[in-house]
Protein backbone atom coordinates (compact mmCIF):
# COMPACT_ATOMS: atom_id res chain seq x y z
CA UNK A 1 0.00 0.00 0.00
CA UNK A 2 1.38 3.36 -1.09
CA UNK A 3 1.29 6.13 1.51
CA UNK A 4 1.80 9.74 0.47
CA UNK A 5 4.25 11.58 2.74
CA UNK A 6 3.86 15.32 2.17
CA UNK A 7 7.11 16.18 3.91
CA UNK A 8 7.60 19.43 5.77
CA UNK A 9 6.25 21.61 2.92
CA UNK A 10 4.06 19.18 1.01
CA UNK A 11 1.03 19.63 3.25
CA UNK A 12 0.65 23.11 1.87
CA UNK A 13 0.44 21.98 -1.78
CA UNK A 14 -3.17 20.68 -1.75
CA UNK A 15 -4.33 23.94 -0.22
CA UNK A 16 -2.39 25.87 -2.89
CA UNK A 17 -3.93 23.81 -5.67
CA UNK A 18 -7.40 24.40 -4.25
CA UNK A 19 -6.79 28.14 -4.07
CA UNK A 20 -5.54 28.30 -7.66
CA UNK A 21 -8.50 26.24 -8.86
CA UNK A 22 -10.91 28.57 -7.07
CA UNK A 23 -9.34 31.64 -8.70
CA UNK A 24 -9.50 30.04 -12.15
CA UNK A 25 -13.14 29.10 -11.65
CA UNK A 26 -14.04 32.61 -10.53
CA UNK A 27 -12.28 34.14 -13.52
CA UNK A 28 -14.00 31.74 -15.91
CA UNK A 29 -17.45 32.39 -14.50
CA UNK A 30 -16.92 36.11 -14.27
CA UNK A 31 -15.67 36.60 -17.87
CA UNK A 32 -18.09 36.80 -20.79
CA UNK A 33 -17.99 34.02 -23.40
CA UNK A 34 -17.18 36.59 -26.11
CA UNK A 35 -16.92 40.33 -26.48
CA UNK A 36 -20.15 42.28 -26.68
CA UNK A 37 -21.23 42.81 -30.31
CA UNK A 38 -20.99 45.28 -31.92
CA UNK A 39 -17.95 47.04 -30.53
CA UNK A 40 -17.19 49.12 -33.63
CA UNK A 41 -18.79 50.36 -36.88
CA UNK A 42 -20.22 47.82 -39.32
CA UNK A 43 -19.69 47.91 -43.09
CA UNK A 44 -22.71 47.37 -45.34
CA UNK A 45 -21.49 46.52 -48.84
CA UNK A 46 -23.84 47.57 -51.65
CA UNK A 47 -22.54 46.15 -54.96
CA UNK A 48 -24.13 48.95 -56.98
CA UNK A 49 -23.40 52.67 -57.35
CA UNK A 50 -24.67 55.51 -55.20
CA UNK A 51 -28.16 56.57 -56.24
CA UNK A 52 -29.13 53.10 -57.41
CA UNK A 53 -32.22 51.40 -56.02
CA UNK A 54 -30.35 49.04 -53.66
CA UNK A 55 -28.24 51.96 -52.46
CA UNK A 56 -31.34 53.99 -51.63
CA UNK A 57 -32.99 51.10 -49.79
CA UNK A 58 -29.78 50.29 -47.93
CA UNK A 59 -29.62 53.84 -46.60
CA UNK A 60 -33.28 53.70 -45.57
CA UNK A 61 -32.66 50.71 -43.28
CA UNK A 62 -29.07 51.46 -42.23
CA UNK A 63 -29.95 54.56 -40.21
CA UNK A 64 -32.48 52.93 -37.86
CA UNK A 65 -30.32 49.78 -37.69
CA UNK A 66 -27.40 51.92 -36.58
CA UNK A 67 -29.56 53.42 -33.85
CA UNK A 68 -30.72 49.98 -32.72
CA UNK A 69 -27.20 48.55 -32.55
CA UNK A 70 -25.58 51.65 -31.12
CA UNK A 71 -22.82 51.72 -33.74
CA UNK A 72 -22.50 53.37 -37.17
CA UNK A 73 -23.49 51.40 -40.27
CA UNK A 74 -21.17 52.50 -43.08
CA UNK A 75 -22.61 51.97 -46.57
CA UNK A 76 -19.82 50.95 -48.96
CA UNK A 77 -20.70 51.13 -52.68
CA UNK A 78 -18.72 48.50 -54.63
CA UNK A 79 -20.29 48.40 -58.12
CA UNK A 80 -19.35 46.35 -61.14
CA UNK A 81 -20.16 43.17 -63.11
CA UNK A 82 -23.85 43.28 -62.32
CA UNK A 83 -23.21 43.29 -58.59
CA UNK A 84 -20.84 40.31 -58.63
CA UNK A 85 -17.73 42.26 -57.59
CA UNK A 86 -19.18 43.66 -54.38
CA UNK A 87 -20.92 40.38 -53.60
CA UNK A 88 -17.62 38.54 -53.87
CA UNK A 89 -16.00 41.07 -51.53
CA UNK A 90 -18.69 40.37 -48.95
CA UNK A 91 -18.37 36.62 -49.40
CA UNK A 92 -14.62 36.85 -48.79
CA UNK A 93 -14.91 39.15 -45.76
CA UNK A 94 -14.08 37.98 -42.24
CA UNK A 95 -17.23 36.44 -40.68
CA UNK A 96 -17.00 38.46 -37.49
CA UNK A 97 -20.28 40.38 -37.65
CA UNK A 98 -18.74 43.56 -39.07
CA UNK A 99 -19.62 43.05 -42.74
CA UNK A 100 -23.10 42.89 -44.25
CA UNK A 101 -24.18 42.62 -47.88
CA UNK A 102 -27.20 44.51 -49.22
CA UNK A 103 -27.90 43.26 -52.73
CA UNK A 104 -30.51 42.42 -55.33
CA UNK A 105 -31.42 38.95 -56.56
CA UNK A 106 -29.17 38.76 -59.63
CA UNK A 107 -25.81 38.10 -57.90
CA UNK A 108 -27.49 35.50 -55.70
CA UNK A 109 -29.74 33.55 -58.07
CA UNK A 110 -28.68 33.94 -61.70
CA UNK A 111 -24.96 34.74 -61.57
CA UNK A 112 -23.99 31.22 -60.31
CA UNK A 113 -25.41 29.69 -63.51
CA UNK A 114 -24.25 32.38 -65.92
CA UNK A 115 -20.71 32.37 -64.48
CA UNK A 116 -20.16 28.69 -63.71
CA UNK A 117 -16.36 28.99 -64.02
CA UNK A 118 -15.46 32.57 -63.16
CA UNK A 119 -17.89 33.89 -60.54
CA UNK A 120 -15.48 33.48 -57.62
CA UNK A 121 -18.09 32.84 -54.91
CA UNK A 122 -21.01 30.55 -54.14
CA UNK A 123 -23.93 32.48 -52.61
CA UNK A 124 -25.27 29.29 -51.03
CA UNK A 125 -22.08 28.33 -49.19
CA UNK A 126 -20.08 31.57 -48.88
CA UNK A 127 -22.93 33.77 -47.63
CA UNK A 128 -25.49 33.36 -44.84
CA UNK A 129 -29.01 34.80 -45.34
CA UNK A 130 -30.29 37.33 -42.80
CA UNK A 131 -33.56 38.65 -44.25
CA UNK A 132 -35.43 39.60 -47.37
CA UNK A 133 -35.95 43.37 -47.34
CA UNK A 134 -38.35 44.42 -50.11
CA UNK A 135 -39.80 43.47 -53.49
CA UNK A 136 -40.77 45.42 -56.60
CA UNK A 137 -41.82 44.68 -60.18
CA UNK A 138 -39.62 45.95 -62.98
CA UNK A 139 -40.93 48.24 -65.71
CA UNK A 140 -40.20 48.26 -69.44
CA UNK A 141 -38.92 51.74 -70.30
CA UNK A 142 -38.23 53.42 -73.64
CA UNK A 143 -37.23 56.98 -74.63
CA UNK A 144 -40.21 59.28 -75.10
CA UNK A 145 -38.58 60.39 -78.34
CA UNK A 146 -39.57 57.05 -79.90
CA UNK A 147 -43.22 58.11 -79.70
CA UNK A 148 -44.51 54.66 -78.75
CA UNK A 149 -46.95 53.84 -75.93
CA UNK A 150 -47.42 50.05 -75.94
CA UNK A 151 -45.37 46.85 -75.97
CA UNK A 152 -46.93 45.96 -79.32
CA UNK A 153 -45.65 49.20 -80.86
CA UNK A 154 -42.17 48.58 -79.48
CA UNK A 155 -42.08 45.04 -80.89
CA UNK A 156 -43.20 46.36 -84.28
CA UNK A 157 -40.42 48.97 -84.26
CA UNK A 158 -37.76 46.44 -83.24
CA UNK A 159 -38.80 44.03 -85.99
CA UNK A 160 -38.73 46.79 -88.58
CA UNK A 161 -35.15 47.61 -87.54
CA UNK A 162 -33.49 44.27 -86.65
CA UNK A 163 -30.12 44.72 -84.97
CA UNK A 164 -30.47 48.51 -84.89
CA UNK A 165 -31.87 48.91 -81.37
CA UNK A 166 -30.00 48.58 -78.07
CA UNK A 167 -31.11 47.81 -74.55
CA UNK A 168 -29.36 48.56 -71.26
CA UNK A 169 -29.03 46.59 -68.05
CA UNK A 170 -27.07 46.81 -64.81
CA UNK A 171 -24.67 44.16 -66.05
CA UNK A 172 -24.42 40.68 -67.49
CA UNK A 173 -26.51 38.19 -65.56
CA UNK A 174 -28.57 40.86 -63.81
CA UNK A 175 -32.34 40.51 -63.54
CA UNK A 176 -32.73 43.42 -65.96
CA UNK A 177 -30.68 41.61 -68.60
CA UNK A 178 -32.45 38.29 -68.15
CA UNK A 179 -35.88 39.92 -68.30
CA UNK A 180 -35.02 41.47 -71.65
CA UNK A 181 -33.48 38.26 -72.96
CA UNK A 182 -36.66 36.42 -71.97
CA UNK A 183 -38.73 39.09 -73.73
CA UNK A 184 -36.50 38.89 -76.83
CA UNK A 185 -36.96 35.14 -76.93
CA UNK A 186 -40.73 35.31 -76.63
CA UNK A 187 -41.15 38.15 -79.13
CA UNK A 188 -38.42 37.09 -81.56
CA UNK A 189 -36.44 40.35 -81.34
CA UNK A 190 -32.88 41.21 -82.35
CA UNK A 191 -31.72 43.87 -79.86
CA UNK A 192 -28.11 44.37 -78.67
CA UNK A 193 -27.14 44.46 -74.98
CA UNK A 194 -25.16 47.33 -73.45
CA UNK A 195 -24.26 46.89 -69.74
CA UNK A 196 -23.97 49.78 -67.26
CA UNK A 197 -22.79 50.00 -63.62
CA UNK A 198 -26.26 50.90 -62.32
CA UNK A 199 -29.76 52.05 -63.24
CA UNK A 200 -28.96 55.78 -62.93
CA UNK A 201 -26.56 55.31 -65.84
CA UNK A 202 -29.14 53.23 -67.74
CA UNK A 203 -31.88 55.85 -67.48
CA UNK A 204 -29.42 58.57 -68.50
CA UNK A 205 -28.57 56.53 -71.61
CA UNK A 206 -32.28 56.15 -72.42
CA UNK A 207 -32.87 59.90 -72.12
CA UNK A 208 -29.82 60.57 -74.30
CA UNK A 209 -31.05 58.10 -76.91
CA UNK A 210 -27.97 55.87 -76.59
CA UNK A 211 -30.24 52.90 -75.87
CA UNK A 212 -33.87 52.32 -76.77
CA UNK A 213 -35.17 50.11 -73.95
CA UNK A 214 -34.56 48.60 -70.54
CA UNK A 215 -36.26 46.67 -67.79
CA UNK A 216 -35.57 48.52 -64.56
CA UNK A 217 -36.95 49.29 -61.13
CA UNK A 218 -39.72 51.93 -61.09
CA UNK A 219 -37.89 54.15 -58.58
CA UNK A 220 -35.40 55.16 -61.25
CA UNK A 221 -37.77 55.20 -64.22
CA UNK A 222 -40.86 56.99 -62.90
CA UNK A 223 -39.35 60.44 -62.20
CA UNK A 224 -38.18 60.58 -65.83
CA UNK A 225 -41.54 59.28 -67.04
CA UNK A 226 -43.35 62.00 -65.12
CA UNK A 227 -41.21 64.75 -66.65
CA UNK A 228 -41.79 63.37 -70.15
CA UNK A 229 -38.27 62.13 -70.89
CA UNK A 230 -39.09 58.41 -70.77
CA UNK A 231 -42.15 56.23 -71.34
CA UNK A 232 -43.10 53.24 -69.19
CA UNK A 233 -44.78 50.57 -71.32
CA UNK A 234 -45.44 47.76 -68.81
CA UNK A 235 -44.83 46.24 -65.40
CA UNK A 236 -43.34 42.75 -65.04
CA UNK A 237 -45.58 41.47 -62.25
CA UNK A 238 -48.37 39.05 -63.14
CA UNK A 239 -50.95 41.57 -61.89
CA UNK A 240 -51.03 45.35 -61.77
CA UNK A 241 -49.46 46.84 -58.65
CA UNK A 242 -50.85 49.25 -56.06
CA UNK A 243 -47.97 51.65 -56.68
CA UNK A 244 -48.50 51.70 -60.49
CA UNK A 245 -52.20 50.87 -60.98
CA UNK A 246 -52.41 52.53 -64.42
CA UNK A 247 -49.49 50.66 -65.98
CA UNK A 248 -50.54 47.42 -67.73
CA UNK A 249 -48.63 44.17 -67.24
CA UNK A 250 -46.60 42.37 -69.89
CA UNK A 251 -49.15 39.56 -69.61
CA UNK A 252 -51.98 41.94 -70.50
CA UNK A 253 -50.08 42.96 -73.62
CA UNK A 254 -49.62 39.55 -75.15
CA UNK A 255 -47.00 37.81 -72.99
CA UNK A 256 -48.87 35.55 -70.53
CA UNK A 257 -46.87 34.33 -67.55
CA UNK A 258 -44.18 36.98 -68.03
CA UNK A 259 -42.82 37.79 -64.56
CA UNK A 260 -39.54 39.35 -63.45
CA UNK A 261 -39.61 40.66 -59.89
CA UNK A 262 -36.75 42.55 -58.29
CA UNK A 263 -35.99 42.04 -54.63
CA UNK A 264 -33.37 43.16 -52.16
CA UNK A 265 -31.92 41.18 -49.28
CA UNK A 266 -29.30 41.32 -46.55
CA UNK A 267 -26.73 38.58 -46.06
CA UNK A 268 -23.48 38.15 -44.13
CA UNK A 269 -20.33 36.09 -44.74
CA UNK A 270 -20.86 32.40 -44.01
CA UNK A 271 -19.62 31.52 -40.55
CA UNK A 272 -20.84 34.74 -38.95
CA UNK A 273 -21.89 33.86 -35.37
CA UNK A 274 -25.51 32.72 -35.17
CA UNK A 275 -26.19 35.20 -32.38
CA UNK A 276 -25.22 38.07 -34.69
CA UNK A 277 -27.49 36.75 -37.46
CA UNK A 278 -30.39 36.38 -35.02
CA UNK A 279 -29.89 39.88 -33.62
CA UNK A 280 -29.72 41.40 -37.12
CA UNK A 281 -32.80 39.51 -38.25
CA UNK A 282 -34.79 40.60 -35.19
CA UNK A 283 -33.82 44.26 -35.46
CA UNK A 284 -34.35 44.38 -39.22
CA UNK A 285 -37.76 42.70 -39.05
CA UNK A 286 -38.91 45.42 -36.68
CA UNK A 287 -37.35 48.20 -38.75
CA UNK A 288 -38.61 47.01 -42.14
CA UNK A 289 -42.14 46.57 -40.75
CA UNK A 290 -42.28 50.08 -39.27
CA UNK A 291 -44.65 52.64 -40.76
CA UNK A 292 -41.82 55.10 -41.40
CA UNK A 293 -39.74 52.65 -43.44
CA UNK A 294 -42.84 51.38 -45.25
CA UNK A 295 -43.63 54.94 -46.34
CA UNK A 296 -40.02 55.55 -47.44
CA UNK A 297 -39.99 52.33 -49.47
CA UNK A 298 -43.33 53.14 -51.10
CA UNK A 299 -41.75 56.29 -52.52
CA UNK A 300 -39.25 53.95 -54.21
CA UNK A 301 -42.10 51.67 -55.41
CA UNK A 302 -40.96 48.85 -53.14
CA UNK A 303 -43.06 46.74 -50.77
CA UNK A 304 -41.44 45.76 -47.43
CA UNK A 305 -41.03 41.99 -47.12
CA UNK A 306 -39.05 40.95 -44.01
CA UNK A 307 -38.38 37.23 -43.68
CA UNK A 308 -36.54 34.63 -41.66
CA UNK A 309 -33.10 33.49 -42.87
CA UNK A 310 -34.66 30.16 -43.83
CA UNK A 311 -37.36 31.85 -45.95
CA UNK A 312 -34.73 33.90 -47.78
CA UNK A 313 -32.67 30.76 -48.43
CA UNK A 314 -35.73 29.00 -49.86
CA UNK A 315 -36.54 32.00 -52.06
CA UNK A 316 -32.98 32.06 -53.40
CA UNK A 317 -33.06 28.37 -54.31
CA UNK A 318 -36.55 28.50 -55.84
CA UNK A 319 -35.74 31.53 -57.97
CA UNK A 320 -32.42 30.07 -59.07
CA UNK A 321 -34.25 26.97 -60.32
CA UNK A 322 -36.77 29.11 -62.22
CA UNK A 323 -34.14 31.29 -63.90
CA UNK A 324 -31.90 28.30 -64.59
CA UNK A 325 -34.65 27.02 -66.88
CA UNK A 326 -34.76 30.38 -68.71
CA UNK A 327 -30.96 30.53 -69.00
CA UNK A 328 -30.80 27.00 -70.36
CA UNK A 329 -33.59 27.65 -72.86
CA UNK A 330 -31.85 30.78 -74.13
CA UNK A 331 -28.45 29.07 -74.03
CA UNK A 332 -26.90 31.96 -72.10
CA UNK A 333 -23.40 31.84 -70.60
CA UNK A 334 -21.09 34.64 -69.54
CA UNK A 335 -17.92 32.64 -68.79
Q: What is the model's pLDDT at position 15?
A: 53
Q: What is the model's pLDDT at position 263?
A: 93
**Residues ≥6 apart with Cβ < 8 Å to 324:** 113
Looking at residue 335, the DSSP 8-state letter turns out to be: -
- In the chain the domains, ranked by start, together with CATH numbers, are 42-136+261-330 (3.40.190.150), 139-253 (3.40.190.10)
C-alpha atoms less than 13 angstroms from C-alpha of 18 in its C-beta half-sphere: 5
Is the CB of residue 105 less than 8 Å from the CB of residue 53? no
Pairing mode of beta strands 192-195, 166-169 = parallel
Spans of the chain, pLDDT less than 50: 1-6, 11, 13, 16-34
Q: What is the model's pLDDT at position 7?
A: 53
Residue-wise pLDDT for 71-93, tens only, equals 999 999 999 888 999 999 999 99
Return the bridge partners of 139, or none: 216, 235
Longest CA–CA separation in the chain, Å: 109
Distance of alpha carbon 63 from alpha carbon 56, whole angstroms: 12
Residue-wise pLDDT for 195-213, tens only, equals 998 888 999 999 999 999 9
Report the length, in residues, of the chain: 335
Model's pTM, two decimal places?
0.78
Looking at residue 31, the DSSP 8-state letter turns out to be: S
Helices (H), the chain: 7-10, 12-30, 53-69, 84-92, 106-109, 111-114, 151-160, 175-187, 199-208, 218-226, 274-288, 291-299, 309-330
Amino acid sequence: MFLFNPGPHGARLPRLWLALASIATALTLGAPAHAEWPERPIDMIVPFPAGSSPDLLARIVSEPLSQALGKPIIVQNKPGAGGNIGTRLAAEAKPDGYTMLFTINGPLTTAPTLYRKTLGYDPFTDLAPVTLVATSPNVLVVPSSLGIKTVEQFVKLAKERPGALNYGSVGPGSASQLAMEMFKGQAGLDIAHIPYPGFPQVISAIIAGDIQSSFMVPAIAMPQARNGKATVLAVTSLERTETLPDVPTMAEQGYPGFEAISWDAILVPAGTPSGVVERLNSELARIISSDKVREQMAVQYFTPAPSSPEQLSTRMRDEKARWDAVIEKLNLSLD
